[in-house]
Amino acid sequence: MFKHEKKLLHEVKVDRPNPTYAVLLQEQLGGPNGELKAALQYISQSFRIKDKAIKDLFLDIAAEELSHMEMVATMINLLNGHDVDAARVQSGVIEQHTLGGLSPMLVNSSGAPWSANYVNVTGDLPADLLSNIAAEQRAKVVYEYLYRQIEDRGVQETIDFLLNREEAHNALFREALNKVGVQGSNRDFGVDEDARLYFDLSTPERYFDNPAPTPTTFSNPRRSQYNPDHTH
Amino acid sequence: MFKHEKKLLHEVKVDRPNPTYAVLLQEQLGGPNGELKAALQYISQSFRIKDKAIKDLFLDIAAEELSHMEMVATMINLLNGHDVDAARVQSGVIEQHTLGGLSPMLVNSSGAPWSANYVNVTGDLPADLLSNIAAEQRAKVVYEYLYRQIEDRGVQETIDFLLNREEAHNALFREALNKVGVQGSNRDFGVDEDARLYFDLSTPERYFDNPAPTPTTFSNPRRSQYNPDHTH
Amino acid sequence: MFKHEKKLLHEVKVDRPNPTYAVLLQEQLGGPNGELKAALQYISQSFRIKDKAIKDLFLDIAAEELSHMEMVATMINLLNGHDVDAARVQSGVIEQHTLGGLSPMLVNSSGAPWSANYVNVTGDLPADLLSNIAAEQRAKVVYEYLYRQIEDRGVQETIDFLLNREEAHNALFREALNKVGVQGSNRDFGVDEDARLYFDLSTPERYFDNPAPTPTTFSNPRRSQYNPDHTH
Amino acid sequence: MFKHEKKLLHEVKVDRPNPTYAVLLQEQLGGPNGELKAALQYISQSFRIKDKAIKDLFLDIAAEELSHMEMVATMINLLNGHDVDAARVQSGVIEQHTLGGLSPMLVNSSGAPWSANYVNVTGDLPADLLSNIAAEQRAKVVYEYLYRQIEDRGVQETIDFLLNREEAHNALFREALNKVGVQGSNRDFGVDEDARLYFDLSTPERYFDNPAPTPTTFSNPRRSQYNPDHTH
Amino acid sequence: MFKHEKKLLHEVKVDRPNPTYAVLLQEQLGGPNGELKAALQYISQSFRIKDKAIKDLFLDIAAEELSHMEMVATMINLLNGHDVDAARVQSGVIEQHTLGGLSPMLVNSSGAPWSANYVNVTGDLPADLLSNIAAEQRAKVVYEYLYRQIEDRGVQETIDFLLNREEAHNALFREALNKVGVQGSNRDFGVDEDARLYFDLSTPERYFDNPAPTPTTFSNPRRSQYNPDHTH
Amino acid sequence: MFKHEKKLLHEVKVDRPNPTYAVLLQEQLGGPNGELKAALQYISQSFRIKDKAIKDLFLDIAAEELSHMEMVATMINLLNGHDVDAARVQSGVIEQHTLGGLSPMLVNSSGAPWSANYVNVTGDLPADLLSNIAAEQRAKVVYEYLYRQIEDRGVQETIDFLLNREEAHNALFREALNKVGVQGSNRDFGVDEDARLYFDLSTPERYFDNPAPTPTTFSNPRRSQYNPDHTH
């Protein structure tokens, strides 16, 4: 069962309206690496999971992503200001002024509608966890791009909070992957000869040796295990 | 520049026509974890990459995925048999008998058209590599599901080859991520307090401690570094 | 802020696995009149609403629709049984057996991905309320079609609960529309001559007089005001 | 059978080219509340209707919406001017200058292609009528947004005509819903206890009593029945 | 202005219900080579055409395609029979039994929604005419596939009529292309050296000489100019 | 099997960054008439072709179109410059600055994702060849529109090369159609009376006589057969 509280998960600050930046921010409401995508991916995956710890983790984070979606939408709503007026959008799409009456919309920054094509669900724990780790890393990237293009301090602080939460989720999903161990698609990983070939099909140049695959695990989800020299 | 050779990358075997199974196999031609998606994701990512080793790796694998796509399509073509006749499809969609004249089509096993929404490109190396690792793991999963639902030995052998190649790519992308080190979105990972919180929003139950994130790296892309006890 | 409770909103019963019926039921998980659509439509509309009563109503119902989505997904999960095996699907799409590993997916009963194109948000209260009333009526219709095609008593009882909830929401939205009165798009309704013409463009036959429009209001959202003779 | 007359349904006036505004106006040609959507929704619904009066009404209005589509396209064509030159678009998408050669296109104001996902057809008269009433109200809203953002008198007059026609259709569909009475999804409305519950899932606050639903009917489709005091 | 007549363009015959075949026939209602696509492509192209003869031709054929759409939908409606019952669909999608209440829907035979991506409009007469000629030829192909998979004589006769009409349109568009002569994209065709190269990128084998392009024209749109020996 | 060479098919020149023009050029990377569409259409068609000469032609041109795609992407990459900064886009979409980190993306100039709906495959040689001829003519048109809107000499020269290659492909496909003769959908063309009717449904005006169709063939794919007087 889902419940809603009127209180936001975290304060949202917007110093002044900026309809042009509202268009950029749509990317994290209705885009492929946005908050709705994250929430629905984790909820969808949770539907069939039997492992109680993983199921709980997915739903904890999914509920948080729904709450982030609400924060992003609140920012967009404030940035859109008070009047439909497409002329106030310097670049990017103007559909919020023709269709949505300045409401935050479930579209990306190009106005393309949110699609379940963004959601990856396989019913296989290692694969689903890797999908989530990748999704969180991409979400961080988009927030970094957005952060660089706004000078509004309130917006920057809100984005900064959201960006840091993606890092937290990323680390938790990695820890979970290490925890579930060799099951599902991580079984029988790299046992056949065909998995140890390298086809050098783009010429000239080759830089990597033949692979000798192992199941996917992460070296350092948590700081306590972290050796910075190792990662450079 | 791309070139084509009439010879397939690897022999394709189909013992007998099976239009129903051809529908299942469409998933890896035109689906979200299929060969076309993989090829176009890596090609798209390669367009802006400056690191020569990574760019070469992406294009080596992309060319191989295009060659896999050709193999999957060849299997579908043989499985479809000789006559448009939707009645020979026991379950699943029948559009190959109304629209495509038995040609392999760029649709998934539900007939939904291939969409660039499947492709993840961020221009950030760690994020793009993680997207690729996840994509390869999911592709393995789909081949496992497909393998279980066919008794044709030729098809099984061909699927087995393709499945193993996904493991090889997976390991190479992990090795590459370790190699590129702390750059882009892996920089400043986990330095803020907000990245070390846990919101326990799905109740009851909580199983994970607060995270203390580090940059993403893999413990064991290659067998030589592989300690099986560690991963259980 | 959104929260999740492990307890379902209402008990879900499935007497026995039925992968074919799971495909039909996908319509109310990922289809245009399904639970996800309803939830996201009301959440999206709520983002900009200033009227406190309406905003609360939209969020109460949205959270319930998310909870319905969880119920529908739980039914699908149980109906899908234990093994990927497309041959067990008598008719309809088989992607849950190639891609999703039997997980409930965000697609309709034809496998088309959920799309934000299903969501209507205008930022105008009368229009948004009418969109919701229509959506609830359509959702009831789909549940009626689904009810007729299953003999599993558990599934029937669960569908019956969901169907009745759509009626409740429908009535509440009608009451809300009457309450908000003549504002937004209900202002200046029918004041011009052009609004009182009838173009009889399909020939032969004409059955309606010229209209003389008024703002949209409902005669009887609630039973206490209900005169059954009036509606026949 | 459909026929076309070269004469427009109503005069279209455009005082001067304005490629930027042409982008806004695309919303009503190829958007979710646009003329094509309305036309195809009513035509699709008409295909299975047995009630002669309702079928005629749907086809009268559908033919009018096709004629409105032609008017909107004519406006866009005149607004686009004479030369492909994306630089003349101040904000919004520029695809008419790369792909369409200034032709009106079946896309919305964000350039997203028209999709049958916009069309609601259930084969149930009350549900389909409510879908149409909501669609007409939304179409009016979009025309209001568009009207406010243009100073060209000719365009304003044309939009004003179209806006008033949506009111006329709205009223006619309401009258039709009252006329068809308690059939289809309006049967057995609100008879179960589950339809009389209220789940207060968004906290704090609750503003509405438990519902006691009745079939949907409208109090005042026509002015002759209109009591303005009642609606404030 | 568009008008509708209750009389069908041509009699539609269906000997008996066949819900499975109704799914196949959806391809020509809501598919990429179907009647709706043809109608909307020619209408869209007509919006900007100045040449009166071509504009009239496009609108004559567009109105006919709308009328074909009505005929195809009428067939589907009759084939769908009287009860929602997905079990009566032997193969293919079952959404007409979950969502549409047996109404003909704007989807293809895989249930994918009709999309304006099917429509080609460039604002260039030679390109648009070639798009139409290709569209008509593909439509004929789909009708041939459909014809082979039904034994209902009534349906066969109706399909035969529609198939022949595509040939008529095809010939008329070819005649129109020859008539408009060297304009637009047919100007300066093949004047540069780069247009006379051949890149033999698929090896081994090469079968064609270097091209020496000319503007596109057809040798024989009409039988009076037809020399059957020439085309073998 | 597909292979990649690091060398581009043809030199790409860009005199200076121009993020606004990069948006326009996306049309030929990810749009309906772009290079990816052409490549995938011809590859898809090739999968089932038995005629060796036609299959080789399709794969020669498909490999070239993939190589063109790489050239277009290289131009976009250079035009995008060095910093994510949506404010540098004067008009059009800004998603490359929010999502893609300036990477070329598989979207059109409106940001709509590439879709397999753009691809026409019927398994019928005459129909597929006509689809390709039309596609090449449209691609030329788009390059002409793009050429007119840029003053960068390097970009102009690159576009000019690509435009000329479309003419070459167009001519080769026409020659191939003439070569395959009367087979598939070109058989029995125009033999029935229904194919010789004209429905004059758009009134007033009629300009064309009743058709008397013949199989589609081209009068002059090559210059050696070219009589310029004939085409005016």
Closest chain D CA to residue F144: D98
Is F97 among the domain residues?
A: yes
E10 is catalytic: no
Q: Reduced to 3 states, what is the DSSP secondary structure of residue E114?
A: coil
What's the structural domain count of chain F? Answer: 1
A68 is catalytic: yes
For the segment D112-169, what is each residue's pLDDT rounded down to a tens digit? 999 999 999 999 999 999 999 999 999 999 999 999 999 999 999 999 999 999 999 9
CB E69 within 8 A of CB E29: yes
Q: What percent of chain E has pLDDT over 70?
A: 96
**Inter-chain residue contact E6 with C202, CB threshold 8 Å:** yes
D68 is catalytic: yes
pLDDT of residue C224: 56
Residue range(s) defining the domain that contains residue C48: 19-185
Distance from CA of B166 to the nearest CA of C (A): 16
Beta strands in chain F, from DSSP E residues, in sequence order: 2-5, 202-203
Is B211 among the domain residues?
A: no
Residues of E within 8 A of F220 (CB-CB) are 214-215, 217, 219
Closest chain A CA to residue C10: A1
Distance from CA of F31 to the nearest CA of A (A): 14
Give the whole-angstrom CA distance, residue E83 versus residue E100: 12
Q: What is the mean pLDDT of chain E?
A: 94
Which CA distances in Å does F117 have to A232, B224, E32?
Answer: 45, 46, 7
Catalytic residue among A27, A64, A97, A166: A166
Q: Is C24 on the interface with B (CB under 8 A)?
A: no
Q: Is E146 on the interface with B (CB under 8 A)?
A: yes
**Inter-chain residue contact D91 with A86, CB threshold 8 Å:** yes
Distance from CA of B118 to the nearest CA of F (A): 9
CB F45 within 8 A of CB B103: yes
**Inter-chain residue contact F145 with D99, CB threshold 8 Å:** yes
Chain B neighbours (≥3 Cβ pairs under 8 A) are: A, C, E, F
Query: Which of C185, C188, C222, C225 is the best residue to mutate to test the D interface, defined by the most D CB atoms within 10 Å of its own CB?
Result: C185
pLDDT band at D221 (very low <50, low <70, confident <90, very high): confident
Q: Letter for the amino acid at B170? A: N
Q: Which of A216-220, C215-219, E86-90 has the highest mean pLDDT?
A: E86-90
Q: What is the mean pLDDT of chain C?
A: 94
pLDDT of residue D219: 82
| Per-residue pLDDT tens listing for chain A (232 residues) | 999 999 999 999 999 999 999 999 999 999 999 999 999 999 999 999 999 999 999 999 999 999 999 999 999 999 999 999 999 999 999 999 999 999 999 999 999 999 999 999 999 999 999 999 999 999 999 999 999 999 999 999 999 999 999 999 999 999 999 999 899 999 988 889 999 999 999 999 999 999 999 888 888 777 754 444 444 3
Instruction: Give the H/E segment covering residue E3.
Output: strand E2-5
**Inter-chain residue contact B99 with E145, CB threshold 8 Å:** yes
CB pairs under 8 A between A and B: 273
A70 is catalytic: no
pLDDT of residue F219: 82
**Res E227 pLDDT > 80:** no
Q: Is C115 on the interface with A (CB under 8 A)?
A: yes
pLDDT band at D181 (very low <50, low <70, confident <90, very high): confident
**Res D231 pLDDT > 80:** no
For the segment C150-191, what is each residue's pLDDT rounded down to a tens digit? 999 999 999 999 999 999 999 999 999 999 989 999 999 988
CB B110 within 8 A of CB B169: no
Would you tell me how many other CB atoms lie within 10 Å of the CB of residue A40?
A: 24
E153: burial class by Cβ within 10 Å (0-12, 13-18, 19+)? Answer: exposed
Chain F neighbours (≥3 Cβ pairs under 8 A) are: A, B, D, E
Q: Is E150 on the interface with F (CB under 8 A)?
A: no
Chain E, 186 to 225: residues with Cβ < 8 Å from chain B are 201-205
Q: Is F94 on the interface with A (CB under 8 A)?
A: yes
Sequence-distant (≥ 6) Cβ neighbours of residue A229 within 8 angstroms: none
pLDDT of residue C231: 41
Is F216 among the domain residues?
A: no
Q: Is D140 on the interface with C (CB under 8 A)?
A: yes
Of the partner residues C102, C104, C119, the one whose CB lies closest to the CB of residue A44: C104
**Inter-chain residue contact D160 with C192, CB threshold 8 Å:** yes
Q: What is the DSSP letter of D191?
A: -
Residues of B within 8 A of F36 (CB-CB) are 40
In the structure encoding, which two tokens stand for residue B44, read together? Answer: 């798209």
Q: What is the pTM of this model?
A: 0.95
D11 is catalytic: no
Of the partner residues C102, C116, C122, the one whose CB lies closest to the CB of residue A106: C116
Which CA distances in Å does B145 have to A127, A185, C94, C168, D124?
Answer: 13, 10, 12, 42, 39
Minimum mean pLDDT among B95-99, D185-189, F38-42, F220-224: which range? Answer: F220-224
Q: Is F110 on the interface with A (CB under 8 A)?
A: yes
Of the partner residues C189, C207, C224, the one whose CB lies closest to the CB of residue D53: C207
- Mean per-residue pLDDT for F157-170? 98
Is D38 among the domain residues?
A: yes
Question: Residue F155 is part of a domain; what is its CATH number?
Answer: 1.20.1260.10
For the beta sheet containing C2-5, the strands, ordered from the edge strand earlier in sequence to the opposite edge, are: B202-203, C2-5, A2-5, D202-203
Sequence-distant (≥ 6) Cβ neighbours of residue C162 within 8 angstroms: C28, C35, C68, C71, C72, C143
**Inter-chain residue contact A98 with D109, CB threshold 8 Å:** yes
Is E51 among the domain residues?
A: yes
CB A160 within 8 A of CB A22: no
Give the whole-angstrom CA distance, residue C21 versus residue E42: 41
Active site residue ranges of B: 35, 65, 68, 136, 166, 169
C136 is catalytic: yes
Closest chain C CA to residue B199: C3
Q: Is B90 on the interface with C (CB under 8 A)?
A: yes
Q: Letter for the amino acid at A80? A: N
For the segment C99-155, what is each residue's pLDDT rounded down to a tens digit? 999 999 999 999 999 999 999 999 999 999 999 999 999 999 999 999 999 999 999
Long-range contacts of A220-224 (CB under 8 A, 24+ apart): A220/B214, A220/B215, A220/B217, A220/B219, A221/A171, A221/A172, A221/A174, A221/A175, A221/A178, A221/B211, A221/B213, A221/B214, A222/A171, A222/A175, A222/B211, A222/B212, A222/B213, A222/B214, A223/B190, A223/B212, A223/B213, A223/B214, A224/B212
pLDDT of residue A224: 57
**Inter-chain residue contact F94 with A112, CB threshold 8 Å:** no
**Res F232 pLDDT > 60:** no
Touching status, chains D and B (3+ beta-carbon pairs under 8 Å): no
The interaxial angle of helices F35-46 and F125-148, nearest 10 deg, is 170
- Mean per-residue pLDDT for F41-63? 98
**Inter-chain residue contact F24 with D97, CB threshold 8 Å:** yes
Chain D neighbours (≥3 Cβ pairs under 8 A) are: A, C, E, F
Of the partner residues A117, A164, A178, the one whose CB lies closest to the CB of residue B195: A164
Q: Is B33 on the interface with C (CB under 8 A)?
A: yes
Catalytic residue among F27, F64, F65, F97: F65
- Does the interface ipTM go beyond 0.90? yes
**Inter-chain residue contact E119 with D106, CB threshold 8 Å:** yes
pLDDT of residue B228: 46
Please choose, from the candidates F109, C116, C63, the residue with its C-alpha nearest in 3D space to the C-alpha of residue A26: C116
- Mean per-residue pLDDT for F28-35? 98
What is the mean pLDDT for each group of 10 consecutive residues in chain B (232 residues)?
98 97 98 98 98 98 98 98 96 96 98 98 98 98 98 98 97 95 92 95 95 86 56 40
